[in-house]
């Protein structure tokens, strides 16, 4: 099984970016913990600060991946284009967030992309990614 892991804008700064909100773990450490949690699964992680690159990655994932774990960062709340890409490819997707988006600024409470996900996991710090991966794999394994 192959799963694409997409990290959106500013997530490349994890480890130093607002550690009071996001902690001190780096993106590379998150990717490594996901791989260690599910060693039989091939993970294809990528990060971009550019909406179009993320859209292209969604399109590509539909061709060669079984599912998607995605944290689109702030684009979660503003990108109709990413939401449309997810709706178009119909790839099983779990959206994840390090912080609880419902306990932060009002604009973060709405997820445009989450409407096209099979589920959202938010607020568990780095564990959100591993929980999201496991939820996606459970979902995929139960589909006919």
Catalytic residues: 22, 97
Residues 62-73: b if buried by 16+ CB within 10 A, e if exposed: beebbbbbbbbb
The rounded distance, in Å, linking the Cα atoms of 60 and 47 is: 14
Contact of 87 with 112, CB cutoff 8 Å: no
DSSP-assigned letter for residue 118: S
């Amino acid at each position: 099984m192959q799963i694409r892991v997409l990290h959106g804008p500013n997530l490349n700064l994890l480890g130093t970016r607002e550690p009071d909100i996001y902690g001190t773990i780096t993106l590379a450490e998150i990717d490594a913990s996901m791989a260690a949690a599910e060693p039989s699964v091939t993970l294809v992680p990528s990060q971009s600060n550019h909406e179009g690159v993320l859209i292209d990655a969604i399109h590509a994932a539909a061709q060669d991946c079984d599912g998607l774990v995605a944290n689109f960062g702030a684009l979660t709340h503003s990108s109709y284009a990413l939401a449309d890409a997810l709706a178009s490819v119909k790839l099983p997707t779990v959206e994840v967030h390090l912080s609880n988006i419902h306990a932060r600024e009002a604009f973060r409470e709405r997820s445009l992309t989450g409407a096209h996900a099979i589920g959202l996991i938010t607020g568990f710090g780095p564990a959100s990614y591993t929980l999201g991966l496991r939820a996606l794999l459970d979902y995929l394994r139960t589909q006919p």
